[in-house]
C-alpha cells in the first residue's frame, strides 16, 4: 500500500469450534445444504465492481447447481431457493469485505442454518449442494493457533492471545511505579532501590497473571515484548510451563501497540513455528510408518479405515489432493470401493472426491486437520511433496 496507509489485517472468522459445529450439521427430514465460496483475493478483486462480478459469477453457479440437482425433493428445492436468495441479499447488501480474501456461506433447505465466514485467503469460487456443509476448503484455515504475547515494561503489562492472523488483548494491568527522579528525604541509591523494587513487584504481578490465565493451557509459542533491561526479568517471572514455550522477543511500544501492530511484528515468528509443527507431524508420520511406538497410516484406503475406527489424531493432506471413494449415507462409513456399507449393508454413495468427507469425519472426531502447502527449503521441495509417495494423504494415529 502507499505511504500513510496502514496494512489491513486479514480477516479470519474460521475457528476449529466453528468447523466442528458445521461438520455436525445434518438438515432435518433428509434436507440438503448449500455451501457457497467466493474468492475475494485483493490481487484480483480489489475494487467493488470486481467483487460484484465475482459474487454474480458464483451466485449464477449456485443457481445452476440448484436447477441441475434432479434428485432434490420439491420441499428441499424450495428451501434451498429461499436460502440462495438469503445468500444473495447478504453478499449484495450486508457483507463488509474489509480484510476478507474470501467468504464462505452455508444455508440449509430447512432454513435452520445460515452462516457466513470471512476467510484469510481465497479458496476459489464454488457452489455445492450436499447432505452436509462442504467444509473441506476451510480445513487448515482455522485461526486456533495458540500464541501468547506478553508485553511488559516497568508499569504496564498486557497479554494478547491468538494466531498469525488475529490477536486479541485478553488482560491488562497497571502498577503505580514511581519515576526515576529522587523524592525528597531519600538518598539517590535508596530511591533507586525503591523504584526497582516497585518495578519488580509489577513484573511479578504480570507473571502471576500469566500463570492464572495460561499456566494450564497448551500454547504453540510465547513471545515477549519488553524493554531490553526488562526482558530477562519478565521471562524469569513466567511460570515454567509458559517459560518453556518462549520463542522470541518483539520490538514494540508496550503501552500503545495495537493488536494489529502485534500481528505484524509477530507473524514471521508464528508462521515459522507453525511450519515447524508441520515438519514435526510429518516426522511422526514417517516414524509411525517405520514401526515406531506411535502408529500411522498412509494412502487413502488405510487412512479412511483409520477414520472409520476413530483412531486419527492428525490428518495430513497435501494441497490439491483428491481421490474418488464411497460413503455410507446412514453411518458415515468411508471407503475406496464397495456398493454396500460393510457395517450396516446400506447402499453406498459414490463421491468424486472422498477427501472432503474424510476431512469432515476427522473434524467430528476432534482430530487436527493440516493441509500442507508446497513450499521450498534450500531449493528442495518439502512438506506436501513428502506426502506424494503416499498418494497425498496420511494420518498420525492415537492407537
Each residue's pLDDT tens digit, 256-274:
999 999 999 999 999 899 8
Sign of CA dihedral 360, 362, 363, 368: negative
DSSP secondary structure string for all residues of 331-392: T--EESS-SB-TTT-PBPEEES-THHHHHHHHHHTT-EEEEEP--EETTEE-THHHHGGGTT
Binned at pLDDT 50, 70 and 90, residue 167 comes out as confident
First to last CA, the chain: 50
Tally of helices (H runs) and strands (E runs) in the chain: 10, 18
Q: Does residue 191 surpass a pLDDT of 70?
A: no
Instruction: Name 25's Cβ contacts closer than 8 Å, sequence gap at least 6.
Output: 33, 106, 108, 113, 132, 133
Q: How far apart are CA 141 and CA 369, in angstroms?
A: 10
**pTM for this predicted structure:** 0.74
Residue with the larger pLDDT of the pair 367 and 193: 367
Q: Does residue 322 surpass a pLDDT of 90?
A: yes
Mean pLDDT of the chain: 88
pLDDT score at 4: 30
Tell me the average pLDDT across 209-228.
92
Tell me the average pLDDT across 54-65.
95
Q: How far apart are CA 115 and CA 92, in angstroms?
A: 16
Q: Does residue 379 surpass a pLDDT of 50?
A: no
SS3 116: strand
- Cell, residue 251: 520490538
154 — phi, psi (to 5°)?
Answer: -80, -5
Q: Does residue 275 surpass a pLDDT of 90?
A: no
- Cell, residue 393: 494423504
Of all residues in the chain, the percent with pLDDT exceeding 90 is 65
Of all residues in the chain, the percent with pLDDT exceeding 70 is 89
pLDDT score at 188: 52
pLDDT score at 6: 34
**Ordered domains of the chain (ranges, CATH):** 7-143 (3.30.960.10), 147-273 (3.30.420.60), 295-399 (3.30.1330.30)
Tell me the average pLDDT across 39-66.
92
Q: At what angle do helices 74-89 and 48-68 cross, to 10 degrees?
A: 180
Tell me the average pLDDT across 187-202.
68
Beta bridge partners of 334: 327
Amino acid at each position: 500500500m502507499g505511504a500513510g496507509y496502514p496494512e489491513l489485517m486479514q480477516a479470519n472468522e474460521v475457528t476449529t469450534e466453528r468447523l466442528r459445529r458445521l461438520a455436525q450439521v445434518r438438515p432435518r427430514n433428509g434436507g440438503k445444504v448449500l455451501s457457497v465460496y467466493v474468492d475475494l483475493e485483493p490481487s484480483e478483486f480489489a475494487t467493488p465492481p470486481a467483487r460484484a462480478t465475482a459474487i454474480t459469477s458464483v451466485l449464477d453457479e449456485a443457481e445452476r447447481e440448484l436447477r441441475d440437482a434432479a434428485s432434490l425433493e420439491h420441499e428441499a428445492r424450495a428451501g434451498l431457493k429461499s436460502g440462495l436468495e438469503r445468500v444473495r441479499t447478504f453478499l449484495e447488501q450486508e457483507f463488509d469485505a474489509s480484510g476478507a480474501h474470501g467468504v464462505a456461506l452455508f444455508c440449509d433447505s430447512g432454513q435452520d442454518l445460515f452462516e457466513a465466514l470471512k476467510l484469510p485467503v481465497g479458496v476459489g469460487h464454488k457452489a455445492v449442494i450436499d447432505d452436509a456443509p462442504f467444509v473441506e476448503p476451510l480445513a487448515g484455515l482455522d485461526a486456533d493457533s495458540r500464541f501468547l504475547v506478553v508485553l511488559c515494561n516497568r508499569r504496564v503489562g498486557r497479554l494478547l492471545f491468538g494466531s498469525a492472523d488475529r490477536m486479541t488483548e485478553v488482560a491488562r494491568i497497571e502498577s503505580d511505579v514511581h519515576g526515576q527522579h529522587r523524592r525528597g528525604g531519600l538518598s539517590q541509591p535508596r530511591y533507586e532501590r525503591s523504584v526497582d523494587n516497585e518495578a519488580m513487584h509489577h513484573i511479578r504481578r504480570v507473571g502471576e497473571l500469566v500463570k492464572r490465565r495460561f499456566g494450564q493451557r497448551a500454547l504453540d509459542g510465547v513471545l515477549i515484548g519488553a524493554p531490553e533491561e526488562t526482558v530477562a526479568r519478565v521471562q524469569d517471572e513466567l511460570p515454567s510451563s509458559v517459560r518453556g514455550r518462549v520463542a522470541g522477543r518483539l520490538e514494540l511500544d508496550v503501552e500503545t501497540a495495537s493488536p494489529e501492530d502485534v500481528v505484524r511484528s509477530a507473524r514471521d515468528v508464528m508462521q515459522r513455528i507453525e511450519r515447524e509443527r508441520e515438519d514435526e507431524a510429518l516426522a511422526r508420520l514417517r516414524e509411525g510408518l517405520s514401526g515406531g511406538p506411535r502408529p500411522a497410516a498412509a494412502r487413502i484406503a488405510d487412512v479412511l479405515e483409520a477414520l472409520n475406527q476413530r483412531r486419527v489424531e492428525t490428518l495430513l493432506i497435501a494441497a490439491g489432493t483428491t481421490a474418488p471413494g464411497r460413503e455410507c449415507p446412514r453411518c458415515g462409513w468411508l471407503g475406496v470401493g464397495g456398493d454396500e456399507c460393510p457395517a450396516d449393508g446400506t447402499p453406498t454413495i459414490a463421491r468424486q472426491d472422498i477427501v472432503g468427507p474424510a476431512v469432515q469425519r476427522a473434524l467430528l472426531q476432534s482430530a487436527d486437520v493440516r493441509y500442507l502447502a508446497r513450499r521450498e527449503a534450500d531449493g528442495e521441495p518439502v512438506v506436501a511433496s513428502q506426502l506424494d509417495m503416499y498418494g497425498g494423504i496420511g494420518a498420525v494415529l492415537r492407537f
